[in-house]
Amino acid sequence: MTRAGTLLAATAAVAVMLGACGGGTATRRIQSTGPRAAPKLDPVKPQARREFEAALRALRLGGPEAPETARARFEAAVEIDGKLWEGWHDLGVLRAQDGDDDRAVAAFDKALAVNPAHAPTRLARAESLRRLGRTKEARADYEATLRETAEDDPLRRDAAARMASLLRDDGKFEDAVDVLRDTLRTSGATSRVYTELGLIYMTQGRDELAVLVIGKAIELDAKDPAAYNALALLYLRQGKAQEAFDRFDYATSLDPNYIDARFNKASVLLDAGDYTRAKQELETLLDKAPDDWAAHVSLGVAWRGLKDNAAAKKKFDLVIDKSPRRSRARGDALWNLAVLKSDFLDDTAGAKGDLERFLQDAGTAHPKRQAAEQKRKELGI
């Protein structure tokens, strides 16, 4: 399993990166209404402002305790004065960074209730909603961001790329292309827009077009790790594993925090049987994104390859216990746990139970569904 691109979360105070051909139904063209006028805001209580500024100082100073210190200060600020929308916004960003998207959405809701004109908050909320699987609400936020930002605002191009990505994930390729083409026409080109266009063409099997537009993305920004990640995915599709690995590696050198390229790099290493290096990459990734459940599953696979079955089982159990029900990662963990028990631990009864849970929990489109049905027959279920 590989991943196409990381998600974006913008903040007013600190810009933080959190990172077969099919047709779609006709989508309505999103007409820009221009920036929404900011409402007249009440003065903020001085004590709340002091707490807010102390949080920003903690982030500027940095260090391992900075996010925790800043979070506590932001929480104190909004408790003193709930109208401090900047505090709610930045608190939402920090919660999203911690993988707590439910509480992040709650904070973004508070910020937008006070200042509905702040487009970065709306886009950040869209990203958290998307990770929670609330795609209809996420799409509404993307569309509102597109309508309410100026055509020359870079944030509008980011929102267009993210909305196109959402449509791509839903198989609505033509709708996604329409969004990007409209953005190129009205707002101009960015590496992010061309990279997403390349990923759509790649998903459709139109590799020549994908090469062309990803090349344009790199021309626009030779330091954009997402473009090299997309190029690596294209090489992987073509069976060029070494070329793909080199581009994933280069993407992580450009931005060590770009977790999708690191995940993809680890996936190539797992496929090659290099479990030690894969484990190192995944542990580095999980230091940055501790709630990345797909990475936990992959780390379990690496432990299994290193013959530490106890560590592998612990990882799979963790994902089954903590990840959202019916999520892809949970299905992957159930499948891998069943394989571990049947093929490595001589626990046929346990494997049968995990397979039953997988078949009940995983959707019919899960890539291991057919293999699970076959395994079930082999175990005499």
CA–CA dist 164, 257 (Å, integer):
23
Cβ pair 201, 207 in contact under 8 A: yes
pLDDT of residue 356: 92
Domain with residue 81: its CATH number is 1.25.40.10
Return the HEC string of the chain.
CCCCCCCCECCCCCCECCCCCCCCCCCCCCCCCCCCCCCCCCCCCHHHHHHHHHHHHHHHHCCCCHHHHHHHHHHHHHHHCCCCHHHHHHHHHHHHHCCCHHHHHHHHHHHHHHCCCCHHHHHHHHHHHHHCCCHHHHHHHHHHHHHHCCCCCHHHHHHHHHHHHHHHHCCCHHHHHHHHHHHHHHHCCCHHHHHHHHHHHHHCCCHHHHHHHHHHHHHHCCCCHHHHHHHHHHHHHCCCHHHHHHHHHHHHHHCCCCHHHHHHHHHHHHHCCCHHHHHHHHHHHHHHCCCCHHHHHHHHHHHHHCCCHHHHHHHHHHHHHHCCCCCHHHHHHHHHHHHHHHHCCCCHHHHHHHHHHHHHHCCCCCCCHHHHHHHHHHCCC
Place of tokens 């509102």: 144
CA–CA dist 198, 176 (Å, integer):
11
- Examine the fold and report which residue of 145, 176, 200 is the final residue of a domain before the chain moves on: 145
Place of tokens 């061309």: 194
Please state the pTM of the whole predicted model: 0.80
Q: Looking at the domain assignment, is residue 162 inside a domain?
A: no
Question: What are the distances in angstroms from CA 374 to CA 3, 28, 249, 331, 379?
Answer: 27, 44, 36, 16, 9
Per-residue exposure over 162-198, b if at least 16 CB sit within 10 Å of its own CB, e if not: bbbbbbbeeebbbbbbbbbebbbebbebbbbbbbbbb
Question: What are the distances in angstroms from CA 237 to CA 106, 141, 206, 207?
Answer: 39, 33, 12, 9
Domain with residue 378: its CATH number is 1.25.40
For 179-212, the pLDDT digits (tens) are: 999 999 999 999 999 999 999 999 999 999 999 9
Q: In 10 A of CB 287, how many CB atoms? A: 8
Q: Looking at the domain assignment, is residue 69 inside a domain?
A: yes
Q: Looking at the domain assignment, is residue 136 inside a domain?
A: yes
Strand partners, 16: 9
pLDDT of residue 31: 54
CA–CA dist 176, 93 (Å, integer):
27
Q: Looking at the domain assignment, is residue 186 inside a domain?
A: no
Q: Looking at the domain assignment, is residue 43 inside a domain?
A: yes
Q: Looking at the domain assignment, is residue 165 inside a domain?
A: no
Q: How many domains does the chain have?
A: 2
What is the extent of the structural domain holding 3?
1-145
CA–CA dist 323, 297 (Å, integer):
11
Q: Looking at the domain assignment, is residue 243 inside a domain?
A: no
CA–CA dist 51, 70 (Å, integer):
9
Low-confidence ranges of the chain (pLDDT < 70): 5-38, 381
- Examine the fold and report which residue of 145, 166, 190 is the final residue of a domain before the chain moves on: 145
- Examine the fold and report which residue of 95, 117, 145 is the final residue of a domain before the chain moves on: 145
pLDDT of residue 280: 97
Helices 275-288 & 259-271, crossing angle to 10 degrees? Answer: 160
Which of 154, 151, 221, 106 has its CA nearest to residue 8? Answer: 154
Q: Looking at the domain assignment, is residue 361 inside a domain?
A: yes
Question: What are the distances in angstroms from CA 302 to CA 274, 286, 320, 354?
Answer: 8, 14, 17, 20
pLDDT of residue 98: 81
CA–CA dist 108, 114 (Å, integer):
10
